[in-house]
Amino acid sequence: MRTLIALLGFILGCLAGIVLLAVNPFAGSPVIQSSGQSYSFVTGDVYGMPHTVRRMLNLDWLEPNKRALQAPAVKNSAVSLMMLRDTAGAEAAYAVKISIVDDEANLYTGKTGHYSYWTVFWPNQGAVLMHGYDEYWDQITDGLLAGLRGRSFTATADDYRLTRSGAVANSLQGMSGIFSGRVGSYSESQMNSGDDGTILQGELAIQIN
């Protein structure tokens, strides 16, 4: 009987913790920090840690990641190669995104972000290096609530805003070509790819002043 009571207490404690995570008052609200030219992207060239709820919660540890980065120092990182398209759907720029899990990430404090580094190159014009912070709180809590409903731990919304207000501003850190000497910022949203961590799709808004 004592074992049963202890087991029930453990299960209820886990459920209570998940519910508290879902309504965590410390989590901020998504804020688009920049406007300007918007680009869409979709790519299957994603290597490293997938940005799925199951992988970020380490629920896929029994399923090998065939695209994992092998060096221990970069095991919690991801690299994506993509083509950016303008609002008319025309090819506009090449881009590489590197994403690294924040060392201080903690579900109980609502900090579930990744540091991101973008390099965007416009042929015959120039390039920019951008640095920001992607917050996956909404995606993770959405997946947790779906799991409580028995639908697997998979995010259900169509898309998620990754850019939030906070200590780390999403800004342009370096520029070349016609962009030299200018300043700017960016914001990002990602489409929901479910449990398919090999696909990255979303929108990137870049403001260069």
Taking Cα atoms as reference points, which of 206, 198, 165, 199 lies closest to residue 182? 206
pLDDT at 66 over 90: no
**What pLDDT score was predicted for residue 4?**
32
What domains does the chain contain, in order, with CATH numbers? 2-208 (2.40.480)
Work out the burial of residue 103: count CB atoms within 10 Å of its CB; fewer than 13 is exposed, 13-18 middle, 19 or more buried: exposed
Q: Does the pLDDT value for residue 2 go beyond 70? A: no
d(CA 93, CA 81): 11
* 32-41, 101-110, 141-150, 179-188: least confident range: 32-41
Give 14 or 95, the one with higher predicted confidence. Answer: 95
Structure tokens at 10: 């453990």
pLDDT at 140: 82
Mean pLDDT across the chain = 76
Residue 163: pLDDT over 60:
yes
